[in-house]
Amino acid sequence: MSERVLIINADDLGYDPAVSEGILTAMRKGVVSSATLIVNSPHSKDAAATAGGLAVGLHLNLARFSPVWISFPTELLDQRELSEAMAARLPPGVVEKETLAQLDRFESLLGRPPTHVDVHKHLHTNASVLEGLRAAAATRGLPVRAINEPMRKALRSSGLATPDHFIGDAGAQAYWTLSRLRQALEHLAPGVTELMCHPGYAPTTVRSGYSVQREVELETFIHPSARSLLDRFQVSVADFTIFQRLHSSS
């Protein structure tokens, strides 16, 4: 594909009411084209109720709040988050069952399947988590986020769709400024790229290390210049249903 297609996906819908409000604003008034919903937080139901008509996938959450599958080994959870070391102790079968349970809850909340799956904290960089996720996603025929080339190859070897490229991060400083967005669009590779972002308002009920940074990202993606940059660099914006269209046309 010589065309440059960008899926602008906002993580953490349902994490916190203020975060969810900002994500929905970024989608309805800005250029964000996709989001992923956490289904096991106290705020998931309210977020789902306001996401009608939008492209939404599952933000598989193995790191925080209560698991959905009743037999999930909760002794692996500490009081706040599942660490990467703890994730390594999750057998693939447990990850598969928890993923399927979260997919079922997603459908009960939104009344439709998710567009795709990604993972909170990128815990699928762990081999056992990726194996369980691959099995569940293959069962449901869903695209999955790949954050690097080895993961992309592993997913595609299971017949799963995933974008050709991935960009985005979150840290002490707000990641997506207009300047960084311009640079990314200028150098965007041909094919389908997923841009991970975290727009929102600062969380009001959940403690998060990425807080006011979300507001900077929100301003970036609702700024008129964001759409102008997409036009300037001839980048098309899509969501994960593009893989359904590509499959049907092949």
- State how far the alpha carbon of 242 is from the alpha carbons of 152, 157, 165, 214, 217, in Å: 17, 20, 14, 27, 24
Would you state the pLDDT for residue 79? 42
64 burial via Cβ count (<10 Å: 0-12, 13-18, 19+):
middle
| SS3 assignment, position 100 | helix
Q: What SS3 state is found at 22?
A: helix
User: What is the CATH number that goes with domain 4-249?
Assistant: 3.20.20.370
Q: Which of 238, 220, 235, 175 is nearest to 29 (CA)?
A: 220
Q: What is the mean pLDDT of the chain?
A: 92
pLDDT of res. 206? 87
Q: List, for residues 143-197, the tens digit of each pLDDT value.
A: 999 999 999 999 999 999 999 999 999 888 999 999 999 999 999 999 999 999 9
pLDDT value, residue 171: 85
Say yes or no to pLDDT of 134 above 50.
yes
Residues 6+ apart with CB under 8 A from 136: 95, 96, 99, 100, 103, 117
- Is residue 13 predicted with pLDDT exceeding 50? yes
3-state secondary structure of 102: helix
d(CA 102, CA 107): 9
**Under 8 Å between Cβ of 143 and 117:** yes
Supply the pLDDT for residue 77. Answer: 56
Task: Give the up-direction half-sphere exposure of residue 183: CA atoms within 13 A in the CB hemisphere.
Answer: 8
**pLDDT tens, residue by residue, 74-120:** 665 544 455 556 666 788 999 999 999 999 999 999 999 999 999 99
Tell me: pLDDT of 248 over 70: no
pLDDT of residue 89: 75
Give the residue extent of every domain in the chain.
4-249
pLDDT tier at 41, thresholds 50, 70, 90: very high
Percent of the chain at pLDDT exceeding 70: 92
Query: CA 15, CA 207: separation in Å to the nearest integer?
Result: 10
Note the pLDDT of residue 223: 98
113-126 CB burial, b ≥16 within 10 A, e <16? ebbbbbbbbbbbeb
Query: Across residues 24-48, what is the average pLDDT?
Result: 97
Average pLDDT for 130-144: 97
Distance between CA atoms of 200 and 190, rounded to whole angstroms?
29
Which residues, including other chains, have CB under 8 Å from residue 46's CB and lie 6 or more apart? 14, 17, 20
Q: Give the integer Cα–Cα distance in Å for 239 and 242.
A: 6
* 191-241 tens-digit pLDDT: 999 999 999 999 999 888 889 999 999 999 999 999 999 999 999 999 999
Phi, psi of 4 (to 5 degrees): -105, 115
Residue with tokens 């080994």: 73
